[in-house]
Structure 1
Amino acid sequence: MRMNRRYRPYKKGPLPFRYVMLLAILFFVLSTVISLFFINRSIKPTLIHIAELETERIANHLIQYSVQDFAEDQENMKDMVVMNTSENGKVTTIDFNAQATSKAMADLSRHLQKNLEDIEKGNFQKEAKEALKDQTDGHDGIIYNIPLGQASGNALIANLGPKVPVRFSVIGDPHTDVEKNIKPYGINNALIDISVLIEVKVRVIIPFASETIVVKNSVPVSIQAVQGDVPDYYNGSGTNSGAPSIVLPEKKEKKE
C-alpha cells in the first residue's frame, strides 16, 4: 500500500545579509534623490533671483565704467554735436553728426564687448574687481559666491553654508543707441544732453540652473551748455508776468 506523505509547511528564514544591504542602499539612494529634488525645487528660485540681482549690479557697473572710459579716450565723441556759428562767433544752429555718432556707437559696442568677454574668462580689471565686494577673486570667471544659507531667508544663517558660484555669459553683441535732448534754460540758453542707451543680454549660470536676463543702462557722455544773445525784449512766460522789460540799445557816439 502506498503511504501518504504528510505535508510540512516550509519555514521562511531571515533574508540573506546581501539582500538586506541591497534594499537598504536602494532605499537610501531613492530617499536622497527625492529629498534633493524637493530641496532643489524650493531653493532654486531664491538662488536664481540672488544671482540675477548680483549679475545685473556687476554688469551695470561694468557698462558705466566702459562708457566713461571710452568717452574720455575717444575724440569722436566730441564730434557728435556740431555748432554752426556766425561771423562774429555767435551760435546760429546746432546739428548732430550722424556719421560720427554711428562710428562712436560701433567702437563703443566693440569696447564693451571686449570688457564683458574678459570677465567671462576671469580677466578682471581693477574697476571691475571693485564691484565684486570681495566676494570672489574672479578666478574661472566666477563673479559672485552665494552662501547657501541665503536661500533659507533666515538672517542668522545667511552667510553660512557652502558657496554657490555664479558665472555669466554674454549672448550676442551689446546694443547701443544715442539719446539726444536739448533743454532750454535761462534766457536764450540751451543745455545739450547726450546719453548712451545700452542693452546687453546675459545668461546667468549657477551649477544646477541658468536664466537669461536683459541688462539696460543709460549713461550720460556729454553735457554742453550753449549761451545765446540776451534779447533786448523779454516778457517771461507771456502770461501774467507784468510789464515787459525793454532795454534800449546803446547809442554809438559820433566821432568828431
Structure 2
Amino acid sequence: MKKIKKIKAKKTKLVLLIMVIVLTIWYLVHSFNAFVEPQLQAIAKQHTGFAINNIVKEVLADMEYESDELLKVERNEAQEVTSIEYDSKRLNQILYSALNTIDESLLAAQDGKKDPKTKEVFYEDGILYEIPLGYFTKSYLLYDHGPRIKVRMKMLNDVTGEIKTEAKAYGINNTMIRISLVVHVDAQVITFMSSNEYKTSMELPLIVQVVNGTVPDMSPYALSQ
C-alpha cells in the first residue's frame, strides 16, 4: 500500500510540475507577445506601406500618355478661359490599365515572383522585411542580433482607385489644375505571430498645369473602379 501511495504521490508531483512548466511557458509567451506584438505590427505595417508605395511608383513610372491629350483649355478672343475639357476616354483607359498593372505587380511581389512589367523580383520569397529580435531589446549591442522575424503581405482584394481633379487659385490671376490617379490597396500584414489588415491610399499626379487667368467653375471629374 505504501508503494502505491508513493507512486501516486510521485505522479501527482509530476503532473503538478508539468502544469507549472506549461503555465510558466504560457505566461512568458503571453508576456512576450504583449510586449513585442504592438511594436512588431507597427514596423511591419510601416514597411508594407513602403513596399506598396515603391511598387506602385515603379510600375507606373513607365506609364505612357500625352498630358496635352488629357486636358484641353478653351479661351475666347480676349484670351479668357471659357472652358476646360477632359478626355474622359483616355483617362478611363489610364485608370483601368494602371489598376490592373498594379494589381498584377502586387500579387507577383507577395509570391516573390517576377514583376510582369519590369521583369524584376521586388522581394525574394515574398519577404518584405526582416526584423532582428534584438531590435525589441532597445539595446545598442543587441539591436541587430538574434533570429529575424519575416514580414510578408497578402492582397485581400483587387486594387481600386479613381481619377481626381482639382483647380485652385495659384498666385495672381493664375489657376493650378491638377489631375491625379488615386490608388487604394487593401492588404494583410503577416508575421509568424499574427496577421492584420492594412489599408493604404496614394495619390499620383498625372498632370499639374498652371493656367493663366481665372478658370470658370468646373464640375469635378469623377471616374472610379
> In which range does the TM-score fall when normalised by the shorter chain?
0.7 to 0.9
- Size of the alignment, in residue pairs? 209
Which residue in 1 is equivalent to 2:138? 153
Q: Return the match for 2:25 from 32, 38, 59.
A: 32
1:196 to 175, 181, 184: 181
Conserved 8 A contact 1:122-1:138: yes
Which residue identity is paired with 2:201? Answer: K
Q: TM-score scaled by structure 1? A: 0.67
Alignment pair present for 1:181 and 2:166? yes
Whether contact under 8 Å (1:195, 1:221) holds in the other structure is: yes
The CA deviation string for residues 3-37 of structure 1, in whole angstroms up to 9 with x for no partner, is xxxxxx95888659x95995555654443233223
1:65-84 map, 5 Å = 65-70=58-63, 73-75=64-66, 78-84=68-74
Contact 1:63 1:217 in 2 (8 A): no
C-alpha displacement of 1:86: 6.7
Which of these residues, 191, 205, 208, is aligned with residue 220 of structure 1? 205
More displaced, 193-202 or 163-172? Answer: 193-202
Runs of at least 5 residues in structure 2 that lack an aligned partner in the other structure? 214-225
**Equivalent runs, 1:226-245 vs 2, <5 Å:** 226-227=211-212
Report the AA paired with residue 62 of structure 2: D
Distance 2:159 2:26 in 1: 41
Cα gap change, 1:12 to 1:104, in 2 (>3 Å): closer
Residue number in structure 2 paired with 1:41: 34
Runs of 4+ in 1 over 6 A off after TM superposition: 126-129
Question: Over aligned residue pairs, what C-alpha RMSD do you find?
Answer: 3.6
Query: In the alignment, does 2:149 pair up with 1:164?
Result: yes
- Show the 5 A alignment for 1:89-168: 92-123=82-113, 138-168=123-153
Q: Whole-Å Cα distance in 1 between the matches of residues 3 and 126 of structure 2?
A: 65
Q: Please identify, of 155-164 and 177-186, the stretch whose mean Cα deviation from structure 2 is larger.
A: 177-186
Change (3 A) 1:74 1:22: farther
CA contact (8 A) 1:174 1:198 kept: yes
Point out where structure 1 has 5 or more consecutive residues left out of the alignment.
Answer: 1-8, 130-136, 229-256
Q: Which has the higher contact order (CA 8 A, sep 6+)?
A: 2
* Conservation of the 8 A alpha-carbon contact between 1:198 and 1:218: yes
Q: Aligned partners of 1:221, 1:128: CA distance in 2, in Å?
A: 25
Structure 2: distance between partners of 1:169 and 1:11: 60
